[in-house]
Amino acid sequence: MTTVVFIHGTGVREPRFTHLRTRVTTGIDEVAPHARVVPYYWGEAHGATLAAGGASVPEGPGGTGRGLDDGDEDETERWALRYADPEAELALAAVGAGATVTAPGSAFPDERPRRLLLRLGDIAPELGPGLTACATALARSPLLPPAASALDADELARVLARALAAGVIGAALASDAPVLCTGDARDAAVDRIAEALGATPAGADRGLILRALKRPALRAGSRIAVRRRRALTDAAHPAAGDILRYLARGDGVRHGLRELIAAQRPPIVLLGHSLGGIIALDTLIQGPQPGVELLVTVGSQGPFLYETGALPSLDHPAELPAHVPAWLNLYDVRDLLGYRGAPLFPGRVTDIATDSRQPFPVAHSAYWDDPAVYRAIADQLP
């Protein structure tokens, strides 16, 4: 009889572990009745805990030397929206624009702001490079004419300045720039840009745009997250903490797995999900495990950690030790936490792509309800 040692992934605690063990055992039994599943429940003894009851988690909003009120948080939320869509305010103004009639021979409302945009130059280096390019693109935006018709010159200049700052910072954010400016530096740059675009000296923002952006439906994201930080930490820390704890102090969980393996009758198969696959892989790489004839990893990050130099037991480009048994690696095509091993270890790993037809992150937990997963495992069992 084949012994399948099942090693669970991150964040699994009771009663979830019992439910997961039962489902995996049932799935294996349906396709391989000659196999028995022996669970390795490492989460209780070796998983992460908030040892001091979450004392490290801040209680609520706060800043360097000052508190935050709702106005601060609302403005931060509006900037989050602008970074995601720099022309959001311009679009709101364009939607509110009515039909306009321009007298023969007079300038169109967007002519002057377009000309100023094209002449702007990089006058705010603290935002990062690219202001001129953003200004040129904004001057060609189809939203500019209707927005210019809906807003007075001062308000339009400020809306355009915020759009430019959001565009430059958003691009820097997308390119993983190592340093981004503070909100104070950003606001000072916005004032300078707005004045260059024809606004009066810096003062309070006004008009329908800010009122529209203060709608409750658009208030989401970091403010809610900060105020619910303790609850979010309580929910997330077992999974994230398990990974960090394993990478820093994984000896205990690997030792426990070796002891469990030694107590089993061969042939033995190690079946690891997510972090469980990393634990199994590391244990096998660090030394031969008598009786283990197959490694099965499911939705696991072992190959990725190896390629990035973060796998504790093996540095890239070192080869997989000869004593590591055959390796079957399954990953769902939509699971962003599942990686391929065959390109890194040619001839040593068999990759099989599955498809639960679920989006991430559901796909990461849907393996154990997918008959294709069990069939693929059964086909390789000794």
**Domain CATH number, residue 369:** 3.40.50.1820
- For residues 23 and 96, membership in a common domain is answered with no
| Residue 125 lies inside a defined structural domain of this protein | yes
Asked if 13 and 104 sit in the same domain, the reply is no
Whether the full predicted model's pTM is greater than 0.75, yes or no, is no
The answer as to whether 73 is a domain residue is no
Determine, yes or no, domain membership for 232: no
Structural domain contains residue 138: yes
Per the structure, the complete domain to which residue 265 belongs is given by: 2-47+250-380
Q: How many domains does the chain have?
A: 2
pLDDT given at position 56: 61
10-residue stretch averages of pLDDT, the chain, 382 residues long: 95 89 95 96 82 61 44 71 88 65 54 92 87 94 89 91 93 77 87 92 51 40 46 49 87 96 97 96 97 97 94 94 98 93 97 90 88 95 95
Same domain, 95 and 206: yes
**Both 211 and 259 in a single domain?**
no
Q: Are residues 32 and 104 part of one domain? A: no
Whether residues 182 and 283 fall in one domain: no
Domain's final residue, options 218, 239, 267:
218
**Does 183 map to a domain?**
yes
pLDDT of residue 235: 44
Same structural domain, 362 and 261: yes
User: How many angstroms separate the CA atoms of 8 and 43, rounded?
Assistant: 8
